Structure formats: C-alpha cells, structure tokens
C-alpha cells in the first residue's frame, strides 16, 4: 500500500501514553494551534480581537504551527489543547490506531481556500488550457493538493498524466518558486493570489473553492480525552467561534479587515479587504460551527479520488456536533 502522508511523522507519537487533561477543574486558558497564518481564518482572529473568547471566560494562547503534521504533533503531545487544521488530519491519525481520538467539534471554513493563478493573462480561460502545462501544486496528502486534483479530474484532466506537475516545494516557498520559476500555473491562498495579481506576477483565473463544493476544510478539533474532561470549556469555545461567525456575516470586508489587521501587518488594508471579499463571495467562511455528514462524505470522496484515504472512518467516530447544535439552539 502506498505510504500515507502522516505515517512516518506520527508513528512515534502514537506510542505516547496520553496523560489526563485537567485535574478536577476545567481549563480557562486554551493553547490553540493554527496550521498556518491565513486570511482564510478571519473568523478566528475576529473571535480573539472582538473579545468573544474573553466573554466566554477563555484566554487564548495562539501559536502558528506551519503544517498539518506539526499541528497534529502539537495536539497529540499536549503542546496544544485545540487545533485548527483540515479534517483530513484527524482521519490520518485515527487510521494509525490512535487510542485518543481527535474529534472535530467546530467548523471554521467550508470550501477550499485556494485560487488558480496563471503567470500570463488568460481572459478566455478554460480548464482544458491546463493540459501539457507546468503546474506548481501543493504538498501531497494535504487538502489543497487533494482538492486541486479532484477539481482537475472533474474537468477531464489527469494531473499526473496531462500536466508537468511539481509537488516538491514546501508550502511556505510555493509563491516565491512560482514567481521566479517556469511554472505556468499555481494554487495560491489569499492574500498572495491578489497580491500577485496587483503586482503583475500572476492572474487569478479560477477558484478551487467554487469548483469543489462544501468540505470541512479547516475545523477546530481536540483530543477526545480533553473534550471529556473539559466539556464546558469546549462549549464556551464553540460559542465564541459562533459569535465571530455571525459577526463576519453581518459586517463588511473592510470592517473585518480592520479587526484582523494586527495579524497581517505586512499586508495593505485594501488587499486584506479584497481577499476577505473573495472568500465571503464564494461562501468560504462557515456560517455555523456544525460539520455535517454530507461535507464529511465529500471530504472522503476527495481523499479517495486522490488515493489518500487510508481508511473509511465513519462520520460519528470523529465528528461531534452536539455542542455546536446546543450553541446554535441557544
């Protein structure tokens, strides 16, 4: 069987004896690990900056762990209490026989967050234009790569047969590699996609988020032991997230940009607003924290299509919507 993305990285961690989380009283300080720093996660930064977590009695210690493997390592080894990362990582961990399940409890984004960027203007772009081109793709086994391949196949393109596909560039180095290299197309998140367009380094020609449908692209998750020991903390955490989701839906991209600007000090306010507006227009920000079964099944279909589904993990095994449903109901 083909080696999976996380096997080597998690094999030693799965031998760790998980210690109890908490000792009679629930934590009010949450160590939160985000998989990357991204405008895609605007509602999370809104929840922090607007004081929604504070209103719920929670202090957030935010760390950016730069990659799904590192994020899950932090969670499994108690370096983080909650992780914001793609739901596929919980499947990878469970397939390796983790004794402490990683439970998805609140969804933040519900579409892919990447855009197809061409080096040259393509005013009449068609997906078939990609055939025989050099395409700078994302890391094998991650959601951007899997969604990218899924969308390409939906348009009759075999990414491994019809493209000169490059997948050996680290996530953080992809924009620079595209700008200085020979690749004709690339998958980029915001604000990099809009920045490249403004600077003439690239041209946005399509959205993978629009093409792939709803998926649990990034969710808040925690170990089952932490959830069992601190249910009220998880409930208040989820309430803060939902407050932020409502606020994002009710306010303009410009207002959101002003709130989250401290997290993107090197990005112009106008560019922040443009990026946020793109995500709002295509419905990337989840309007509530519930990860539903249809989205979970869509995720597994995408992983299976990419040859990266290690095991058919049932929805009820790794998704808990009870807290989110209670939060929305109240």
Measuring CA to CA, which residue among 98, 39, 46, 89 is closest to residue 67? 89
- Tens digits of residue pLDDT in 55-87: 999 999 999 999 899 999 999 999 999 999 999
Instruction: Give residue 121's Cα distance to chain centre.
Output: 28
Q: Using the predicted structure, report yes or no on whether residue 27 has a pLDDT greater than 90.
A: no
Q: What percent of the chain has pLDDT over 90?
A: 87
Residue 103: pLDDT above 90? yes
- With 0-12 / 13-18 / 19 or more C-beta atoms within 10 angstroms meaning exposed / middle / buried, residue 1 is exposed
Per DSSP, 213 falls in state: -
Coil, strand or helix at 205 = strand
Average pLDDT, the chain: 92
161 pLDDT above the threshold of 50: yes
Question: Which of 22-36, 92-106, 130-144, 281-295 shows the lowest per-residue confidence on average (mean pLDDT)?
Answer: 22-36
63 CB neighbour count, 10 Å cutoff: 13
Residues 209, 210, 214, 220, Cα dihedral to 10°: 30
Q: Is 23's pLDDT higher than 50?
A: no
Q: Which pLDDT score is estimated for 20?
A: 37
**Residue 328 burial (10 A CB sphere; 0-12, 13-18, 19+):** middle
pLDDT digits (tens, 9 = 90+) for 167-176: 999 888 999 9
Domain 7-21+28-111+215-329 superfamily per CATH: Periplasmic binding protein-like II (3.40.190.10)
Q: Which residues of 102-113 are buried (b: 16+ CB within 10 A; e: fewer)?
A: bbbbbbbbbbbb
The CATH-assigned architecture of domain 114-212 is: 3-Layer(aba) Sandwich (3.40)
The three-class DSSP label of residue 164 is: strand
**At residue 218, what are phi and psi to the nearest 5 degrees?**
-140, 130
Given this model, what pLDDT does residue 139 score?
Answer: 84
Residue 238 has pLDDT above 70, yes or no: yes
Judged against a pLDDT cut of 80, whether residue 179 lies above it is answered with yes
pLDDT for 4 beyond 80: no
Per-residue confidence (pLDDT) for residue 171, from 0 to 100: 84
Nearest to 247 by CA among 12, 50, 64: 50
* Structural domain boundaries in the chain: 7-21+28-111+215-329, 114-212
Q: Do domains 7-21+28-111+215-329 and 114-212 have the same CATH topology?
A: yes
Residue with tokens 């005013």: 123
Spatial distance between the Cα atoms of 237 and 59, rounded to a whole number of angstroms:
10
- Between CA 222 and CA 163 the distance in angstroms is 38
User: For position 26, what pLDDT does the model report?
Assistant: 74
Report pLDDT for 140.
87
Q: What confidence score (pLDDT) does residue 9 get? A: 52
167-176, 231-240, 248-257: least confident range: 167-176
**What is the predicted pLDDT for the residue at 13?**
54
The answer to whether 206 and 125 are in contact (CB under 8 A) is: yes
State the pLDDT at residue 314: 96
More confident residue, 256 or 11: 256
pTM of the model: 0.90
The size of the chain, in residues, is 330
In 3D space, the residue among 125, 124, 126, 150 whose CA is nearest the CA of residue 137 turns out to be: 150
Tokens of 165: 């596909």
> Is the distance from CB of 125 to CB of 118 less than 8 angstroms?
yes
* pLDDT level of residue 2 (50, 70, 90 thresholds): very low
């Amino acid at each position: 069987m083909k080696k999976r993305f996380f096997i080597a990285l998690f094999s030693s961690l799965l031998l760790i004896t998980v210690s109890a989380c908490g000792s009679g009283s629930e934590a009010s300080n949450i160590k939160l690990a985000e998989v990357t720093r991204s405008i895609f996660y605007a509602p999370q930064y809104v929840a922090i900056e607007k004081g929604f977590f504070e209103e719920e009695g929670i202090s957030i210690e935010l760390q950016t762990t730069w990659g799904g493997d590192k994020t899950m390592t932090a969670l499994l080894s108690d370096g983080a209490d909650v992780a914001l990362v793609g739901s596929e990582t919980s499947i990878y961990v469970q397939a390796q026989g983790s004794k402490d399940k990683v439970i998805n409890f609140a969804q933040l984004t519900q579409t892919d967050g990447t855009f197809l960027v061409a080096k040259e203007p393509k005013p009449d772009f068609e997906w078939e234009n990609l055939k025989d081109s050099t395409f700078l793709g994302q890391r094998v086994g991650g959601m951007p790569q899997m969604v990218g391949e899924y969308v390409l196949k939906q348009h009759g393109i075999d990414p491994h047969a019809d493209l000169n596909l490059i997948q050996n560039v680290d996530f953080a180095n992809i924009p620079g590699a595209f700008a200085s290299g020979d690749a004709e197309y690339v998958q980029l998140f915001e604000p990099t996609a809009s920045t490249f367009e403004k600077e003439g380094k690239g041209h946005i020609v399509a959205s993978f988020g629009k093409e792939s449908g709803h998926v649990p692209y990034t969710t808040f998750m925690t170990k089952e032991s932490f959830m069992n020991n601190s249910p009220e903390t998880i409930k208040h955490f989820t309430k803060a997230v939902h407050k932020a989701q409502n606020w994002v839906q009710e306010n303009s991209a410009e207002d959101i940009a002003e709130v989250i600007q401290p997290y993107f000090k090197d990005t112009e306010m106008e560019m922040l607003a443009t990026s946020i507006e793109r995500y709002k227009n295509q419905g990337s920000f989840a309007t509530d924290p519930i990860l539903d079964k249809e989205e979970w099944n869509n995720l597994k279909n995408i992983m299976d299509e990419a040859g990266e589904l290690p095991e058919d993990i049932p929805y009820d095994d790794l998704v808990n919507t009870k807290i989110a449903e209670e939060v929305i109901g109240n």
